[in-house]
Amino acid sequence: YIDTVKTALGDNKISKTELQSISVAGANAVAGLNQFGGAQGQPLSTSINTMTKQLARGESPKAKSSLGALEQSARSLPSVPQPPRK
């Protein structure tokens, strides 16, 4: 989600396609956090939903600020072990 938002904000304009990608990435991130993030994941879910709404309303400066805060918060989450790849 964070990388998708960073890429979209790169030119300071959010296209319809970029907004759709952000919405899908946000929904997937929130679903994962809700399922696996426990109590620590809830604030991140809220931040993702807030930032997606800001971007949809064209509030890029607010979204950029939210992005920085989200990146900081995401670093505090413990990493989830990944299954071995085949």
- Taking only the tens place, the pLDDT of each residue in 32-80 is 999 988 888 889 999 999 999 999 999 999 999 999 999 988 887 766 5
- Residue 71 near residue 2, CB atoms below 8 Å: yes
Count Cβ atoms within 10 A of the Cβ of residue 17 and give its class: 0-12 exposed, 13-18 middle, 19 or more buried: exposed
pTM given for the model:
0.83
pLDDT greater at residue 3 or residue 78: 3
75: three-class secondary structure by DSSP:
helix
Is residue 39 within 8 A of residue 13, CB to CB? The reply is no
Is 19 a residue whose pLDDT tops 90?
Answer: yes
Q: How high is the pLDDT of residue 14?
A: 92
